[in-house]
Amino acid sequence: MKKIKLLRPVWLLLFNLLFSMAATDLCAQSIEGRVVEEGQRPVSAATVLNTNNGLTTAADDAGDFKIQGVIGDLLRVSAVGFSPQTFKVEKLTANTIVLTSLVSDLDNVVVVGYGTQKRINLTGAVGSVSGAELTKRPAPNATNLLQGRVAGLDIRQNTGQPGLGTTEVLLRGQGTFTGSSGPLILVDGVAVNSLNYLSPEDIEDVTVLKDAASAAIYGSRAANGVILVTTKSGKKGQSTFEYSGGFGTSKATVLPDLIYDSPTYMRLFNEARARSGMGAIYTQDQIDAYASSTDRLQYPNFNWLDFAFKNGAIINQHLGFSGGNDKTTFNLSFNYLKQDGILAKNDYRRYNVLASFNTQINKKLSVGSNVNMTFEDIVQPWLSNDDLILLIYHGGPTYGAYLPDGSGRLATAAYRSEVGQRSYTAVMNNSGQFYKNYTVNAQAFANLEIIKNLNWTTKGAVYFQNNEYRNRQHEVSQYLYQPDVNGVHEYVNNSGTNFLGLRQQLSQSVTKTLYSTLTYAARLGEAHDLKLLAGYEQINNRSPYLYGMRTGFPNSTLSEINAGSPVNQVTNGNTQEWALQSYFGRVNYDYKDRYLVEGNFRYDGSSRIAPENRWNAYSGVSAGWRLSKENWLATALPLFSEFKLRASLGTLGNQEIGNNYAFQDILSTSTYPFDDVLATGAVKTRLVDPALGWEDTKITDLGVDINVKNGLLTAAIDWYNKKTTGIITQRLDVPASIGLSAPISNIGSMENKGWEFDLGHHHKIGAFDYSLFFRLATYKNKVTNVLARAISTMGGSAGGPNLLTDVGLPFQSFYIYEWAGIFQNQAEIDGWAKQPSSGTLKPGDIKIVDKDGDGTVGPEDRATYNPFPKFTYSFGLNTSWKGITFTAFFQGVERQYMFLKGWGVDPFLQNAPPPSKFLNAWTPTNPSNTVPAVYFGWTYPGVAGYPSTYYLNDLSYLRLKNIYLGYEIPDKLLQKIHAKGLTVYLSGDNLLTFTKFEGADPERRTDQTRYATFPQTKIVTVGLNIKF
Amino acid sequence: MKHVLIKNIIWTISLISCFSCKKFLDKNPGDVISSGNFWKNEDDARMGLTGVYSRLNSVSYYNYTKVFLEGYSDNAYTFLIQSFLDMTKGTVNATNVPGGFFSGPYSGIAACNYFMANIDKVEAAESLKNQFKGEVRFLRAMYYFDLVQAFGGVPLYKQEPATVEEAKIAASSSDEVLAFVHEDLDFAISNLPDTRYFGHAVRGAAQALKGKVLLFQKRWPEAATLLKQIIDGGVFDIAPSYSGLFLTATQQKNPEIMFATSYLAPNRTHSASGEGLETEVGWYGAVGVYQPMADEYECIDGKPITSSPLYNPAKPFENRDPRMDITLKLPDEDYVFSDGSVFEYPLQETPFMMQKYLDMTHFPFSRDISSVKTDVNIIHIRYADVLLMYAEAKNEASGPDASVYSAINKVRGRAEVALPPVDQVLYNSQAALREYIRHERRVEFCCEGLRYFDLKRWGIMDEMLKKVENPAPYTPLNLAFGEKNNVLPFPQSEIDKNPALQQNAGY
């Protein structure tokens, strides 16, 4: 915020400059000037009216005009598509009149389900963001770019590994238990699994349907909201050829501070083991050798983080051809992305082609197609993502990656006593995992105007994914770093790959969508506007896969199945299918643009539900009242350009229940050998609830949209209450004595109540244009009904926390013990409550609070902690001045609890160096009350015996997500090269982070307890965009 | 024009709606069988029966994890198995009790009950159906008996519960459950073929299991009579090779094996996910054997190491019972890689490691190599067990006699073991022979997962656990029996889900 304040004097200076330019010459007879739009682009064919003498003239193609008049005259300038402006003449030449495009934030058209709607007429809670805004960030993943752009849409990138599309997307909180809580995503009206195959460059805009009334048209798939993405198509007018390129570099945002000083590490390791009653891992001679040696090759302080993490290049190239005439428009776009990881062998390549075409066959009929093809090429080691990171974390400083003898052989430990886990380099020197993913989203559509105002649109689409996956592993020999008495580096093992051979899987997913809509729009009389839509849609998906595995390859380079031995080969394959069939409709009515009503309806049948319950109806209704259109308000408070109250109510469903055949009474097939012959069997292994029905989500939404003085202050504020009932999940009350897995049933309900604020300020001081925005979303998640209170354990490490799901609490609340410092001496231990799970307590272990005061710490002493954030927010600044654009974008999360342990937290887990805070750990002479005595591993009972708040962190953060500085080269300079526009820019992602969380990145996945995760990346990119 | 258009639209929409016939939304999985059109003919019955057997491969402790039960006794240290130190240090409670003791048998029982509920729908010869029922009831008896051995009385479902709510019942007494076990076994004995074991349960197996139940119930004379019938029947015999019992190639048609969980590579190995007994035991070192267990092996003169002149503490593994080297990896025994380097376990907490069931030709036992080959059958009942159970029952019923010594000698005297007969002077009383029979069982069945139940049955778990020593450099263990009344607590999750189930006394 400080920076913005500093800018103030600069604005004043600019202001003064502009007005001082008004040189005075009062005697001239004609006024000359140029009409431009924001960004200095000329506006052709603008009409200029001198209100003092009544003369008019038209500006030419370059926007230049000349009209008779004198200083002090008032010119009224108008042009189609722009708001008219009155301009007081203060000089006779070089006047610049800037027109504001009519398509302002509140006036533009937004995409809604099966159609579009003028933003001013929206009655639901709908957020949107333009592609241009998204691509200011250099991050290559379209989903991640939505972070912070729409209030209520929480995006959490799970990993910094390139090409791994694991992003948590939650709209208005967690909506269900175990089914999908992610929103429905549609690209050009067709549902897709993820946005990650898209090149962000190809996105025209993104709309988010947040409330039930808007989303009800998507019925059984819309419970968690809907994200509608529209790709770019050609525009009528001049054809353009566009090239843009970005060249960047990325590195880890933040890495932990671990103890890599070998003698310290070795001493602490021995101490930690002694504390667990285990023998020393190093002899004093060994420690002394490291402490006294100056030969850092032989006795290194090897820092594995420094060794492993590097800068990764990101290159993005885009070529676009687009344009059109009155009848036909086209857009052809090619994209290439090369993203190298911040670790070696973590590479991502993406190739996109987008071809869209639209033509008017005759007055009545238009047809078009839109084909988006993507090839993704992903390389990663056989242990990848977070698993790879923990290998780096558990590397000890006593040995380097390669033997000191220069032979290039790999080291896995300094001494035999250290041998345990495979080393990072062993994994990196193995073959790896290779993905080749092809995605095609091909659509064709036709639109027929049957009679005036009655349109029939039909679209057919195939969304095709073809994925090839290979996992190739071979032996990688590992040796001891320190030679034995004979100078020989002892062979340890083949690095414990989990198999030696090739696993290959070919999988496909084909989704066929066909929908057809009739729309009717009419104005009845002067005041009544009516729009009707009715439609039919059917979607079916078929996903086969085939898997094969062979071992026994003659060497480590051959990588085709045929090269392996057929002995003991394994094959698997299966096909999954689902289908959805739907009828839907919408009614829009408005009276004098003042009273707005919208109703949406959908009737869905799903293959995932038993035939008796298969069909279900969803509907939503919303209403808006534009107070600003009321004369009394317009008179009383003319500063309101827009003042709208909105209310909506509707029901939605969730068919993403994680199982295509949940209701079917089926027998598992299995095999059993009798007398050396394998027989096939059928056995019942699960219970089935044939009455399985739909999950039901009701959302009530109240909102207000305010615009003061055409953007000087804008606000969109929403309150909602989202209630989900009949949640589809596995029953948790089924005793094991039934001997079958529990059925999937409609169990439980929960609610999310929340607020969303989207505030903006837009102002212009001469050529200086700036806007500020601030978004905040907060919700309270509460389970309102469960069949039985359920306690589970969060995965990712040993000693993970319990999660409690019970009425009145947030879903899967942390259910853990509270720690209260460190036992300083035996007397304190004796005076404290018994901690039976802490083993034999020693001074330096942690105290756990006996909440119920019964003298023993037990399960009843656990307390709950909310796993959901208090609020998420983003804010930023957009400025432009004479072709210079500067934007800054911040995003943050407040009070996000996570329970984190393992490598990087628990000292010496698989030899992992402890975090450096253990340099200040408790010892009898250093009575710390915050850092326990250095301990061994993640199950040391004195610390980990009770999963406690010792491991609970608040991962609140505020992050400068992006900063962007762009310069549009003035047109004059471009004329020589016949370019229509050239922008050069510098963009930086994740450059600054404010957090109290120690060590690693606070922005991380929330679904597991592992501290060692693949870090996010800082990216700095320079780029240019040129149009011809 | 307008009319033609509208006609076209209606035509198109009705064309589209044709897809909307019911079929469009009917999607069925292709890799499983719909129960609706099953249970029609003999093939269905066979598939159903195979399905029941296949639970043996997938539930604990009937698959290869049976050997890990050894870790709950005084024989072995088993770090891979759930709560093994809680089970042997007296801290077992409702939260840490290994759930497999409960869920494993009940998964099997559910499969049995489902089969029993449907088999009569099948059109097939009554005798065949009765044989199938006999097999299934044999399995169900085995599961219920194991539940009783672990927990005492348990919820008893003689049929499939119709609803989840109907399954929430109190535990029946152990007598009630065992009465049902006998019912099932008597049916099985009457309807199973009196042949050698060939993958399907046979009469001898049902008789042997019934004998074991009677032993558990201390109904000695009945047990002795029944077990004698098996011995006199002559269908089964002691195999000359001890090591061969635990190798795939020599398990087939082995006269000694009476019932086992069967595997067949490559499609039915121990674990589809890439591990199995050889990887877990042979590579990770999941089962470490304690010193006192190893000390139990006699010298080849049939005398214990404390009294045998053949025992040389400097060379403790010479002149010992051959079963020792077959069952254990001895401290001076190296597993050598092809390049000459010596294999070491990542974690070794005891002087000895389990070697029984490992096929040393498969070494190294890393996941890729072993997992696809490990298909050794896991033995539940073998003839040596029948002989030693007979010896025990007869000795308890009426004291030592020739048939008792003969049964023990038969086990000790197999060709590969060839130990001298029992010293009838030294073991001439019922009490002395009782100890000796227990000793012989411990040695004969070491690492086969029988010891835990034997110790509970004899009521000497605490006494024996306290004798476990783990010499330096290994960590001392201080084991003690913690089960109250010889029964485990029900898992807390089960008490939570089934309010009618009362926790066992003492927990």
Chain B residues touching A677 at Cβ < 8 A: 264
Contact (CB<8Å) A684/B111: yes
Contact (CB<8Å) A456/B25: no
Mean pLDDT on A750-779: 94
Mean pLDDT on A265-289: 92
Residue A101: the pLDDT is 64
Minimum CA–CA partner of A732 in chain B: B497
Q: Give the DSSP letter of residue A741.
A: B
pLDDT tens sequence across A643-657 = 999 999 999 998 888
Does residue A105 carry a pLDDT above 50? no
Q: Are A138 and A316 in contact (CB under 8 A)?
A: yes
B498 and A CB contact within 8 Å: yes
Does residue A530 carry a pLDDT above 80? yes
Q: How far is it, in rounded angstroms, from Cα A407 to Cα A400?
A: 13
Q: Measured between CA atoms, how close is B292 to chain A, in angstroms?
A: 22
Mean pLDDT on A769-782: 95
Residues 808-847, chain A: which have Cβ within 8 Å of B?
A: 836
Centre a 10 Å sphere on the Cβ of residue B318 and count the other Cβ atoms it contains: 11
Q: Measured between CA atoms, how close is A479 to chain B, in angstroms?
A: 12
A354 versus B89: the higher-pLDDT residue is A354
When the pLDDT of each residue in chain B is averaged and rounded to a whole number, the result is: 91
**In B67-125, where does DSSP find H-type helix?**
84-89, 100-118
Residue A9: the pLDDT is 44
Helix (H, G, I), strand (E, B) or coil at A18: helix
Contact (CB<8Å) B20/A577: no
Q: How far is it, in rounded angstroms, from Cα B352 to Cα B296?
A: 13
> Which residues partner with A772 through β-bridges?
A761, A877
Does residue A610 carry a pLDDT above 90? no
Q: Considering CB atoms only, which of A450, A607, A676 is closest to B6?
A: A450
Contact (CB<8Å) B20/A516: no
Confidence of residue A70 (pLDDT cuts 50, 70, 90): confident
Does residue B387 carry a pLDDT above 50? yes
Looking at chain A, how many residues does it have?
A: 1028
CA distances B461 to A49, A276, B88, B151, B430, Å, are: 106, 28, 9, 15, 21
Contact (CB<8Å) A670/B496: no
Q: Are A394 and A386 in contact (CB under 8 A)?
A: no
pLDDT tens sequence across B17-42 = 544 455 889 888 877 787 777 999 99
CA distances A695 to A222, A585, A790, Å, are: 11, 21, 20
Structure tokens at B476: 């001392």
Q: Are B342 and B329 in contact (CB under 8 A)?
A: no
Q: Are A721 and A771 in contact (CB under 8 A)?
A: no
CA distances A139 to A313, A337, A378, A477, B474, Å, are: 12, 11, 17, 38, 54
Percentage of residues of chain A with pLDDT beyond 70: 95
Q: How far is it, in rounded angstroms, from Cα B461 to Cα A499?
A: 40
CA distances B197 to B43, B192, B379, Å, are: 22, 11, 11
Does residue A18 carry a pLDDT above 50? no
Does residue A785 carry a pLDDT above 80? yes
Residues 292-351, chain B: which have Cβ within 8 Å of A?
A: 339, 341, 344, 346
pLDDT tens sequence across A674-694 = 988 999 999 998 888 888 888
Q: Alpha-carbon Rg of chain A, whole angstroms?
A: 33
Residue A107: the pLDDT is 53
Q: How far is it, in rounded angstroms, from Cα A260 to Cα A269?
A: 12
Contact (CB<8Å) A788/B252: no
Structure tokens at A527: 């005041």
**In A70-184, where does DSSP find H-type helix?**
131-134, 142-145
Chain B residues touching A947 at Cβ < 8 A: none
Confidence of residue A811 (pLDDT cuts 50, 70, 90): very high
Mean pLDDT on B447-464: 96
A85 and B CB contact within 8 Å: no
Q: How far is it, in rounded angstroms, from Cα A584 to Cα A537?
A: 8
A453 and B CB contact within 8 Å: no
Q: Specify the amino acid at residue B317.
A: F
Mean pLDDT on A216-238: 90
Q: Are B402 and B390 in contact (CB under 8 A)?
A: no
Mean pLDDT on B79-105: 87
Closest C-alpha among B382, B379, B403, B381 to residue B393 = B403
- Helix, strand, coil percent content, chain B, rounded in steps of 5: 50, 5, 45
CA B47 to chain CA mean position, Å = 23
Chain B residues touching A574 at Cβ < 8 A: 30-31
pLDDT tens sequence across B121-147 = 999 999 999 999 999 999 999 999 999
> Which residues partner with A514 through β-bridges?
A460, A538
Contact (CB<8Å) A498/B367: yes
Minimum CA–CA partner of A858 in chain B: B95
What does residue B205 show for φ and ψ, rounded to 5 degrees?
A: -65, -40
Chain A residues touching B12 at Cβ < 8 A: 458, 516
Minimum CA–CA partner of B199 in chain A: A674
Structure tokens at B307: 């009294």
CA B64 to chain CA mean position, Å = 8
Residues 4-63, chain A: which have Cβ within 8 Å of B?
A: none
Q: Specify the amino acid at residue A119.
A: R
CA B258 to chain CA mean position, Å = 13
Closest C-alpha among A829, A115, A121, A902 to residue A535 = A115
Residue A902, phi-psi category: left (phi > 0), alpha (psi -120 to 50), beta (remainder): left
Q: Are B181 and B147 in contact (CB under 8 A)?
A: no
What does residue B266 show for φ and ψ, rounded to 5 degrees?
A: -95, -5
Residues 772-791, chain A: which have Cβ within 8 Å of B?
A: 788
Mean pLDDT on A44-65: 81
Mean pLDDT on A185-212: 93
Q: Measured between CA atoms, how close is A659 to chain B, in angstroms?
A: 11
When the pLDDT of each residue in chain A is averaged and rounded to a whole number, the result is: 90
Q: Are B447 and B304 in contact (CB under 8 A)?
A: no
**In B275-330, where does DSSP find H-type helix?**
277-282, 291-295, 322-327
Helix (H, G, I), strand (E, B) or coil at A524: strand
Contact (CB<8Å) A682/B51: yes
B23 and A CB contact within 8 Å: no
Minimum CA–CA partner of B110 in chain A: A739
B165 and A CB contact within 8 Å: no
Return the number of CB contacts < 8 Å for A and B.
234
Q: What b-and-e string marks burial along A599-629, b requiring 16 or more CB atoms within 10 Å of the CB?
A: bbbbbbbbbbbbeebbbbebbbbbbbbbbbb
Q: How far is it, in rounded angstroms, from Cα B399 to Cα B393?
A: 9
Confidence of residue A326 (pLDDT cuts 50, 70, 90): confident
Least confident of A161-170, A421-430, A725-734, B118-127: A161-170
Contact (CB<8Å) A739/B110: yes
Q: Could you tell me where the beta strands, DSSP code E, fall in A382-431? A: 410-413
Q: Measured between CA atoms, how close is B121 to chain A, in angstroms?
A: 16
Mean pLDDT on A600-605: 95
> Which residues partner with A314 through β-bridges?
A248, A339
Chain B residues touching A669 at Cβ < 8 A: 31-33, 51
A612 and B CB contact within 8 Å: no
Residue A468: the pLDDT is 97
Closest C-alpha among A122, A120, A123, A85 to residue A103 = A120
Q: Considering CB atoms only, which of B27, B200, B274 is closest to A674?
A: B200
CA distances B86 to B89, B94, B221, B478, B507, Å, are: 5, 11, 37, 12, 14
Contact (CB<8Å) A737/B52: no
Centre a 10 Å sphere on the Cβ of residue A957 and count the other Cβ atoms it contains: 18
A466: exposed, middle or buried (Cβ count in 10 Å: 0-12, 13-18, 19+): middle
Q: Are B479 and B461 in contact (CB under 8 A)?
A: no
B127 and A CB contact within 8 Å: no
Candidates A738, A835, A856, A857, partner chain B, best to mutate (most B CBs within 10 A): A738
A362 and B CB contact within 8 Å: no
User: Is the peptide bond preceding residue A162 cis, with omega within 30 degrees of 0?
Assistant: no
Chain B residues touching A945 at Cβ < 8 A: none
Does residue B67 carry a pLDDT above 70? yes
Q: Are B289 and B75 in contact (CB under 8 A)?
A: yes
pLDDT tens sequence across A124-174 = 999 999 998 898 888 888 898 999 999 999 998 888 898 876 788 999 988
Least confident of A62-71, A820-829, A865-874, B251-260: A62-71
Percentage of residues of chain B with pLDDT beyond 90: 72
Chain A residues touching B501 at Cβ < 8 A: 735, 737
A516 and B CB contact within 8 Å: yes
**In A203-283, where does DSSP find H-type helix?**
212-215, 262-275
> ∠A975-A979-A980 over CA atoms, to 5°?
100
> ∠B135-B139-B141 over CA atoms, to 5°?
115
Chain A residues touching B473 at Cβ < 8 A: 279
| Beta strands A713-725 and A696-708, pairing class | antiparallel
Minimum CA–CA partner of B500 in chain A: A735
B499 and A CB contact within 8 Å: no
Residues 401-460, chain B: which have Cβ within 8 Å of A?
A: none
A485 and B CB contact within 8 Å: no
Percentage of residues of chain A with pLDDT beyond 90: 65
Chain B residues touching A675 at Cβ < 8 A: 198-199, 252
Residues 570-589, chain A: which have Cβ within 8 Å of B?
A: 570, 574-581
Q: Measured between CA atoms, how close is A181 to chain B, in angstroms?
A: 24
Structure tokens at A93: 């030449």
